[in-house]
């Protein structure tokens, strides 16, 4: 797609229904993101998400898809202790989760681990910039790469990860001019989130795009619907109809044969 100058849309999904809907809409890459920690599990960060959580949700996504590339986001501390740990986590992602690829966060320091995973036949998407698993180390949600030293480090990270064998790199919350420069230097695609319009593709979070969470307002996220409001209105209507007795009606109910009813009433 990069070679053909075709922009790459990627979206998260966490269950079979969501995955089926986004694939039917034409999404070619689905990320089972560890963002499920904040969107599905109710945590404040992605840190509490486990590998077992990711495998569970990825298996559900796989059941809802047939064509899209499904990428499992390896969660916090599931690959950073040793290469052996990373290989086992990647193996589980593919064998147990059914993913077609994995995603890992980190720059040049993670490149040797990434290379070893790729050598074993597992495709790896890299992720640099604002890396949510480093939330505490980075001091919260901050734009990365704004000064010369930090910007050069991100460029070096991207080149090292490409050399190590990553098939794509997510660039998160970095200045748009820097993302453009990184994209121009790489042969592999860049997928931006809060990184401007010049990346080869973009990724958004399912719940942000559909307006399902009313407590999240991110500069880089665009709401294409306000389904949260529609869900609340639908549930309010249901509650009202149950309370007033207008639901269910005969149209929503099942009957019995009259002779069976007569015998039943006669017996009682």
For residues 170 and 58, what is the distance between their CA atoms, to the nearest angstrom?
A: 19
For residues 36 and 34, what is the distance between their CA atoms, to the nearest angstrom?
A: 5
Phi and psi at residue 261, in whole multiples of 5°?
A: -65, -45
Tokens of 261: 């009813």
Parallel, antiparallel, or unpaired: how do β-strands 69-73 and 190-193 relate?
unpaired
For residues 7 and 2, what is the distance between their CA atoms, to the nearest angstrom?
A: 7
Whether omega for the bond prior to residue 114 falls within 30 degrees of 0, making it cis, is no
Active site (annotated) includes residue 162: no
Catalytic residue, from 172, 181, 230, 258: name it: 172
Q: b/e map of 104-121 (b: 16 or more CB within 10 Å)?
A: bbbbbebbebbbbbbeee
Catalytic residues: 172
């Amino acid at each position: 797609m990069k070679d053909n100058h075709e922009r790459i849309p990627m979206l998260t999904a966490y269950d079979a229904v969501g995955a089926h809907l986004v694939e039917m809409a034409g999404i070619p890459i689905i990320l089972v993101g560890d963002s499920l920690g904040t969107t599905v599990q109710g945590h404040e960060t992605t840190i509490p998400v486990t590998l077992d959580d990711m495998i569970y949700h990825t298996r559900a996504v796989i059941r809802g898809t047939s064509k899209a590339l499904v990428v499992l986001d390896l969660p916090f501390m599931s690959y950073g202790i040793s290469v052996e740990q990373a290989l086992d986590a990647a193996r589980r992602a593919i064998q147990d989760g059914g993913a077609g690829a994995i995603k890992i966060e980190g720059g040049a320091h993670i490149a040797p681990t990434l290379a070893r995973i790729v050598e074993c036949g597992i495709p790896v998407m890299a992720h640099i910039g604002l890396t949510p698993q480093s939330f505490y180390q980075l001091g919260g949600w901050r734009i990365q790469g704004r000064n010369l030293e930090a910007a050069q480090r991100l460029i070096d990270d991207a080149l090292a990860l490409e050399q190590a064998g990553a098939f794509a790199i997510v660039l998160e919350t970095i200045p748009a001019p820097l993302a453009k420069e990184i994209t121009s230097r790489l042969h592999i695609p860049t997928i931006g989130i809060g990184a401007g319009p010049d990346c080869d593709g973009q990724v958004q979070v399912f719940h942000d795009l559909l307006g399902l969470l009313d407590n999240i307002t991110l500069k880089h996220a665009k709401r294409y619907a306000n389904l949260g409001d529609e869900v609340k209105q639908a549930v309010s209507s249901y509650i009202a109809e149950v309370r007033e007795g207008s639901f269910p009606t005969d149209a929503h109910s099942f009957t019995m044969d009259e002779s069976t009813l007569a015998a039943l009433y006669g017996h009682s």
